[in-house]
Structure 1
């Protein structure tokens, strides 16, 4: 009550109110005191606009309002702007590093059953050191363990795993047994040969020894060899061999000791290599996000990872075009296009479809496939490019000349720079493709324009973006084709004003005139332009290498209608809305990039012995509504809204709006006459920014505008109104010490005092220091448990004794448990010693995909120490 009295008297002096107005003010002050009693209540009376201390977000409220070290959703605008610079509010590169000996040749993704909606929902499978492998989070695994139940045979396990008939699976039993035994059958046979060689002719238990070795061989096939027992048997045989004439005692010990080398029957864990039934050489991998497909020189294979079951397909048994598989690409939901050394075929999961040669389907070895649905498929064979629209295959574009269009102009437009530089050669090719075509054509005439004339070199990679453009990577650079024409990159046109030489052209583009560089560029110019002479006549035009976009292309991955990532021989570059730039965030050497995968804006890059993943951020919004002091008034409520916007190059920005309704008030004059009503409220608008400062360290800053509207006009003779405004700054840092431990600190509401009528009686803002930690006790895909701690201290009126200042520190403690990212439970405790407030908090969440609904509740207890008891809060957070 002392704080309440102080607050009333303070505002009386400011506004010189009438007796009736004093009553209204007391009501308002009581509301404010009750409202903020759970937030540093002993110190709030010394500050203005204490509504800034209300904790937004029911998630934080449920864990004792300890949140600055988490700050991973849109409420970080309030709690800690450094969270904006940290994943998942900012994109981040994650590196999965293999061993130095690992060489990743290709990667594919398969959806797992983890309850995630980000990159963790996919398992990474790869062709590593020419073996099929799966990344387990730490290393590449080339197999998995399966349980062999007691009474089950290795053959039955193999039949289930391989999908083969018993007779066909039999040859793999020996291979699998060798993988799971520390003793080879050759070692057992060697022991048998050595002991039988020294057995006396009349030894009584010769048959028992022979039968013992038969039991060992059977146990070896059943994976029941006891290595320690085999060592004892080996020692006994060596001991017998050491004597010139082995004693009967030593021989008997061998004859009746074979059971030592055989383990008891029971469930056993069997290691099964993924490539058990695969040939030694693998050409390519593919995925439909449910299965892994493997192409080899001797067949096509499908692995169902969930069941760990293989299915084999061959040309002889399954009507495939060829057993030599060279490329695999998904098109549509279920269709896979499969390239072979004899052309292209499609696979729907059950049957293969080959395309007759008279349909102009690709012929020869397929080098690349790209598809945007099963009606927009592009296939490359060497330097030839084919398109399939769902009905027919074409290796050229049909161009119908319009009125006023000339053949020359149409060719130059369609082929871009090539149409200008190489018009004569291109025209000769077009004439041979279109029989009867002269030097000109008439309006309405349809001309076939071969795709192969729009790029140079053999095709190494293809990609189709959301605009339907096909990206063509070759041994000489990157190009793309849209509905109108080809576009080329990495080269510049040079036109000779006078007769010159190739060397002079090269020297023109080498500023330092380095002879070695000039010679190399001269060779490139001649090769790229197919020049047979070093001389260039006046007016001749050539294309000159300009940058890395003109080198051999390793991989292409369109991310959206505007963005495409390209791995060149000299690095990874990004085409973004018409501009090329090096891809930031991770250090790639293009020559080591095997392939690039993307899904929902996230990207996986296989490079050398590692996989780099770009974990994409999402925009987030959050909204919270909470009614306060319902028994006192129905128009007192709190609203909070925030929005987070990640940007590609500038970090992440956020905006937050805080609004507190204090209800309708009645205005009266000095004698108590009613003069009408007015509405009281307080609000703040916050702009935030966060970014990564260095590895594991993140920082953020917020700018806040504050408006406190307590009255529309002054009382009596007072001029002005009970409206004040101010601005404030917040700053915060987050430091991930380890994968499990995070530290954080914030300083908030730093700014000029807020005043209403009398500037000399301005109130300080509720400046606050907070220090916290988050420790992940359990961090598994299905279970996550964190303990969160925080200490807060208002930085206002710091002239008390040291003991008092320490006592004013308010500890917050919270626990948060997530099950499967669907359900969360929370608990917390807040202890304000000076303000005599101590109470528990409870919370829960329900999450579905990117939508989360949070609830918090403060159980009722002693009213003197828990004035917010029985308060329920609700908030919603959504990502998109």
Structure 2
């Protein structure tokens, strides 16, 4: 009888754990704005950028690409409305600058500013008592170097400030100030003939936002930064001197511990991240999901993107991004276009939500403009 009871209890515990693991278990981090795609070109290809051709906004996706920049200097400005369906004063904006020093090296800098809008405060009887403006921003610089004619590596240092506290309301939330680093690599093959067309292979990786945990208050637990592994690959079909089609694929995984799951008295699964260092968390993140290998695979997002370019002056783009319903349920299609006027480039993109969960960029146009000037380098 005792054996039957123990077997039954074991089965019930296993079943309860399985039910808990079926609940959504997304990974949360501090400063998630660092993962938002800033530019409209990548935004038109399903938020892909680790292995696409170099442009003015490469520093966000893969700083190593700057060593292959086609122009000596590039300047870019971007603007992305956020939660457009609800408000008109929340946005992500900023600028980038890059300088290809010579045939082998380049450096870049950028500013990302996330404005969370204006909050109007009132007292207990509804009388206005002031306003607060919350914001987050990052300022970063990078250096990239070609280790061969086809491969480069790069590093980036990023300063981050996240100010989400309401001072006039005596909020316990403190502003966060911290630094993170990126380590990246990029491969771009020589142009080769494949019969009816020429082609160029591309591949890249970027481990971004490597840095210590932070806390928004004196008595709260520390939060991991959004350390992220990005892997991408692509191929350029160069049909002739005027027409080129590029296909890309990309995979992302947060290198942050998965919250552990257990069932409490009311049957709801509380999620708690491991109390370990950020460095240990990067390695633990590959094998710590409560649901085992299946849940680990759910933490990998993937995206597909395509770009058609005519005469290096007009582009059409499309893409798809997929995230598991257990990890955030971001799923969307994108389209975009690009126009070049001498040294200026204008890109726009639009997002179609494909998930039951609302997307903050749904029905939103994203814009970016870039300028190339100075010496022109050989692209391939």
TM-score (norm 2): 0.75
Q: Deviations over 1:322-352 (max 9, x none)?
A: xxxxxxxxxxxxxxxxxxxxxxxxxxxxxxx
Aligned to 2:61: 79
Aligned to 2:167: 713
- Structure 1 residues 742 and 759: alpha-carbon distance in aligned structure 2, compared to 1, 3 A threshold: farther
Aligned to 2:45: 63
- Structure 1 residues 676 and 865: alpha-carbon distance in aligned structure 2, compared to 1, 3 A threshold: closer
The alpha-carbon deviation at position 84 of structure 1 amounts to: 1.2
1:793 aligns to 2:253 (yes or no)? yes
Aligned to 2:302: 811
Contact 2:38 2:80 in 1 (8 A): no
- Structure 1 residues 759 and 657: alpha-carbon distance in aligned structure 2, compared to 1, 3 A threshold: farther
Aligned to 1:704: 158
Q: CA RMSD in A?
A: 2.4
Contact 2:159 2:177 in 1 (8 A): yes
The alpha-carbon deviation at position 714 of structure 1 amounts to: 7.7
The alpha-carbon deviation at position 723 of structure 1 amounts to: 1.2
SS at match of 1:758: coil
The alpha-carbon deviation at position 629 of structure 1 amounts to: 1.8
Structure 1: where are the runs of 5+ without partners?
A: 1-40, 89-616
Paired residues, what number?
309
SS at match of 1:813: strand
The alpha-carbon deviation at position 754 of structure 1 amounts to: 2.4
1:758 aligns to 2:251 (yes or no)? no
Matching of residues 387-426 of structure 1 within 5 Å: none
Matching of residues 7-22 of structure 1 within 5 Å: none
Q: Deviations over 1:152-175 (max 9, x none)?
A: xxxxxxxxxxxxxxxxxxxxxxxx
Contact 1:754 1:763 in 2 (8 A): yes
SS at match of 2:56: coil
Contact 1:669 1:715 in 2 (8 A): no
The alpha-carbon deviation at position 738 of structure 1 amounts to: 5.2
1:826 aligns to 2:324 (yes or no)? no
The alpha-carbon deviation at position 879 of structure 1 amounts to: 0.4
The alpha-carbon deviation at position 725 of structure 1 amounts to: 1.4
SS at match of 2:357: coil
Contact 1:71 1:79 in 2 (8 A): no
SS at match of 1:78: helix
**Alpha-carbon distance between aligned partners in 1 of 2:359 and 2:176, rounded to the nearest angstrom:** 30
1:838 aligns to 2:331 (yes or no)? yes
Aligned to 2:116: 662
Aligned to 2:228: 768
Contact 2:92 2:114 in 1 (8 A): yes
1:745 aligns to 2:214 (yes or no)? no
SS at match of 1:775: strand
The alpha-carbon deviation at position 836 of structure 1 amounts to: 2.2
Matching of residues 844-859 of structure 1 within 5 Å: 844-859=337-352
Contact 1:58 1:843 in 2 (8 A): yes
**Alpha-carbon distance between aligned partners in 2 of 1:736 and 1:679, rounded to the nearest angstrom:** 43
Matching of residues 454-473 of structure 1 within 5 Å: none
- Structure 1 residues 714 and 808: alpha-carbon distance in aligned structure 2, compared to 1, 3 A threshold: farther
SS at match of 1:77: helix
SS at match of 2:246: strand
Aligned to 1:733: 185
Contact 2:156 2:183 in 1 (8 A): yes
TM-score (norm 1): 0.34
SS at match of 2:167: coil
**Alpha-carbon distance between aligned partners in 2 of 1:778 and 1:862, rounded to the nearest angstrom:** 35
Matching of residues 275-290 of structure 1 within 5 Å: none
Aligned to 2:6: none
Aligned to 2:370: 877
Aligned to 2:194: none
- Structure 1 residues 673 and 723: alpha-carbon distance in aligned structure 2, compared to 1, 3 A threshold: farther
The alpha-carbon deviation at position 626 of structure 1 amounts to: 1.8
Matching of residues 477-556 of structure 1 within 5 Å: none
Aligned to 1:681: 135
**Alpha-carbon distance between aligned partners in 2 of 1:671 and 1:728, rounded to the nearest angstrom:** 44
Contact 2:38 2:92 in 1 (8 A): no
**Alpha-carbon distance between aligned partners in 2 of 1:648 and 1:868, rounded to the nearest angstrom:** 38
Matching of residues 276-675 of structure 1 within 5 Å: 617-648=71-102, 651-667=105-121, 674-675=128-129
**Alpha-carbon distance between aligned partners in 2 of 1:859 and 1:814, rounded to the nearest angstrom:** 14
Contact 2:72 2:101 in 1 (8 A): no
Aligned to 1:18: none
**Alpha-carbon distance between aligned partners in 1 of 2:202 and 2:250, rounded to the nearest angstrom:** 12
